[in-house]
Amino acid sequence: MSEAEQVPASVPEAAAVLDALNVTDSNATEALNATVKFVATPEGTALAYGSLVVMALVPIFFGALRSVSCSKSKNGSDMPETITGRDAARFPIIASCTLFGLYLFFKVFSQEYINLLLSVYFFGLGVLALSHTMSPLMSRVFPESFPNKQYQLLFTQGSGESKEEIVNYEFDTKNLVCLLISSVVGVWYLLKKHWIANNLFGLAFALNGVELLHLNNVSTGCILLGGLFVYDVFWVFGTNVMVTVAKSFEAPIKLVFPQDLLEKGLGASNFAMLGLGDIVIPGIFIALLLRFDVSLKKNSRTYFYSSFLAYIFGLGLTIFVMHTFKHAQPALLYLVPACVGFPVIVALFKGELTEMFSYEESPPEEEASKEDSSESEKKDQ
């Protein structure tokens, strides 16, 4: 989401991360209404909900912007992972199997030990994700006189002509500083499980997920969102599996904000929550529409802004329904129709619906091979 979250090595690994994110998104919404032991003030509720909305918008907006440059990157550490139509069709099935597997694990094994393993696992992912997120900012903060050395981590398999690259990661001294800072946050999270540390990791996961997971076309996006729409509704309304997993799962895969912050300050403990699945899943579709806007070369971002506003509308509607009926709501039930419907309506009015659905992104490997072949043709000429 994140690089396994940071740099997804393959579509199946990316799917594994995303389905874990989606496990908690709807269940986290139920916690928004957990008022049995604590009744939030209107001010506290408004502050919590408003903060969650802002925190959801930040990784989508900046992740989408970074996805444009990421799609053109030739650096192995920054190249995106492309989700095809086949991947999108299998994704809800993989997510369902993973969710039910987690449910069985929590039923059979000790919750304490499982969450200990999950904390260590997400510690590593979170450090990498946060480091990758901070790198562009740190590059501007450091003075030009800073001694910045370049490094390359290269693992190969075989020898001679059969040698194959397994890992090829380029980094510099600034990246190492970011890694150190991220490690401090990681230790803070492991020791205290503080909500601010949780949110730093969560925002990093979400931003990197939107940046590095790319849909290859709009049709694939519709398949993915449609499948997860059914997945989300079924596991929230049809069974208690998702609720059980969400209550047992302790990991920075959700954004939280205390509803009693005004009363208790940073030590507040009654949280409103939003799962990262509700951010990353629509976010990668919104990022695709931004890249489509760029491909039109019209100096406008019509589809990006329409889908971004649609996301705000869908998320606001989700919170309104939860707050009104005091019942868990699958956020994708509202987000998917909004994020898909608004841009399609805009395309119909502009007469660009066919162009939108015919837009295709090639995987980075194919783009690289096309560039290599075109360069060789120029040399031959």
Could you give the residue numbers annotated as active site? 232, 278
Residue-wise DSSP of 213-260: EEESBHHHHHHHHHHHHHHHHIIIII-SHHHHHHHH--SS-EEEEETT
Q: Which residues contact 369 (CB under 8 A, 6 or more apart)?
A: none
Structure tokens at 83: 């989700």
Token pair of 365, please? 């490997």
How many Cα atoms within 13 Å fall on the side-chain side of residue 186? Answer: 20
Q: Are strands 213-215 and 254-258 parallel, antiparallel or unpaired?
A: unpaired
| DSSP run (H or E) holding 152 | strand 150-157
276: nearest Cα among 256, 257, 254? 254
DSSP string, 306-372: HHHHHHHHHHHHHHHHHHHHTS---THHHHHHHHHHHHHHHHHHHT-HHHHHH-B---HHHHHHHHH
Q: What is the Cα–Cα distance from 37 to 269, expressed in whole angstroms?
A: 11
Residue type, 277: G
First vs last C-alpha separation in the chain: 44
